[in-house]
Structure 1
């Protein structure tokens, strides 16, 4: 699993972005990719990545 920080998350729209701790790459996250409850900006998270329709998405996202 990768670790990162939630850069932005809009609860009403159900999506946001996570910045990977190692690569500093940003990954799109959709509410359907959350596995451990809600997340918000600046939360530390663990996640996997998966190819989506528009690029690589964060999935199985949970707070640490």
Structure 2
């Protein structure tokens, strides 16, 4: 049974592609996914059967092999980029702190932006290896 990794899959479009271990791309329709699986992450290892479709090889009977890779970990910024983000966050927090010392909270829009940024940075630090 051939194996490979998910190159990409779009649940809205209902299809994607597998890069087989031999390097060839195989069309992946959503009908070939295992029961109860609606989406697959890029890089997920799979085994599958191949049939000849209208436009080339098509995967059927897809089986997931091993755990799916973490999308959060894959999308995590590089350390140099994260350093710049943290430095910018420090500047924003310092400005908010100065306003609070003058007994003024940031505007609702600024507060929301700051809270969103804090959550995003925290999520990037909290990725489990």
Name the TM-score, length of structure 1 as normaliser: 0.88
- For residues 1-64 of structure 1, what are the structure 2 equivalents within 5 Å? 1-21=1-21, 23-36=22-35, 37=37, 38-64=39-65
Q: Do the aligned residues in 2 keep the contact of 1:50 with 1:56 (CA within 8 Å)?
A: yes
User: Which structure features the higher share of helix residues?
Assistant: 2
- Residue 35 (structure 1) shift: 2.4
Query: Gaps spanning 5+ residues in structure 2: where?
Result: 66-129
- After superposition, the CA RMSD in angstroms is 1.1
Pick the structure with more strand per residue.
1
Per the normalisation by structure 2, the TM-score is 0.46
Bigger Cα Rg: 2
Contiguous gaps of at least 5 residues in structure 1: none
Structure 1 runs (4+) greater than 3 angstroms displaced: none
Greater RCO (Cα-Cα under 8 Å, separation 6 or more): 1
